Amino acid sequence: MLLAIDVGNTNTVVGVFDGPRLVDHWRLATDARRTADEYGLWVRQALPYAGIDPTGVRALVVSSVVPPMQFSLEKMASRYFGVRPLFVGPGVKTGMPILYDNPREVGADRIVNAVAAFEKHHQGLVVVDFGTATTFDAVTPKGEYLGGCIAPGIAISMEALFQNAARLPRVEFARPPAVVGRNTVHSMQSGLVFGYAGLVDGICERMARELAFPVKVLATGGLAPLLATESRSISEVDELLTLEGLRIIHGRNHGLE
């Protein structure tokens, strides 16, 4: 079995694959201060809870945008699973040409998402990932990573409102009853939900006009289902796209395709 780990700035998603099948997955807060033992013990306890024998894990693949985590995850993989992890980055075979000015600048998660999306659809794409940042990534019909757009994430914006406006509370990210809020909570939720839906549609429509090919817009990330219901651009949601991309890239680097 393959253990796939996607380390984001806010959350870390862990999944276990048995061949192409995702057996189970978990989401936990990213904390660069966690030790290898903390991660190792947590994973070893989580697997049996899902009916998975930890001794069946024979490989580990990681995408990370938090460099300090690499040492802990390498040590965790060695001590608790006896494997050397594959970190997605320069030198790793992805099967996708990167047309960015400097390919090393592209976050591993963005490439992993693009690989999974193209493997699934084989057409021009825009992949929207609702993470700490909201990212938009364009993939050509030939399967090339073209570039994209980075905007502040929803959680960042929510926290900024709370921290910098003395009379505004923290609110749940949820759809309000109407665009015109009749109280402070609903007014904030309206700005966040409908404001981000407008941001998504505006950027996707501009990207579609700029690109010389038709695109399908996919969304991923924990908040994708809610935003997709309010967006006219998003046509499909795949919350676990990054884990699937990690599985594909691992296979391409170990002859398992």
> Does residue 254 register a pLDDT over 70?
yes
Strand 133-139 to strand 145-152: parallel, antiparallel, or no bridges (unpaired)?
A: antiparallel
Expressed as residue numbers, the domain containing 155 is 103-245
Task: Classify residue 151: in a domain, yes or no.
Answer: yes
The pLDDT tens digits of the residues spanning 40-85 come to 999 999 999 889 999 999 999 999 999 999 999 999 999 999 999 9
**Do the domain assignments include residue 18?**
yes
31 and 158 co-located in one domain: no
Q: What is the pLDDT, as a whole number, of residue 147? A: 96
Answer yes or no: do 237 and 158 share one domain.
Answer: yes
Query: Within this chain, do residues 115 and 240 fall inside the same structural domain, yes or no?
Result: yes
For residue 146, is it within any domain? Answer: yes
Separation CA 46–CA 220 (nearest Å): 24
Report the percentage of the chain scoring pLDDT > 90.
Answer: 87
Whether residues 74 and 108 fall in one domain: no
For the chain, what is the domain count?
Answer: 2
* Domain membership flag for residue 114: yes
User: pTM value?
Assistant: 0.92
- Is residue 129 domain-shared with residue 178, that is, in the same domain? yes
* pLDDT tens digit sequence for 169-193: 989 899 999 999 999 999 999 999 9
Q: Give the catalytic positions in this structure.
A: 109
My answer on whether 59 and 158 are in the same domain is no
Residue 78 belongs to some domain of the structure = yes
pLDDT of residue 256: 64
The answer to the question of residue 165 being in a domain is yes
CATH number of the domain where residue 56 is located: 3.30.420.40
Q: How far apart are the first and last CA of the chain?
A: 15
| Same-domain pairing of 81 and 131 | no
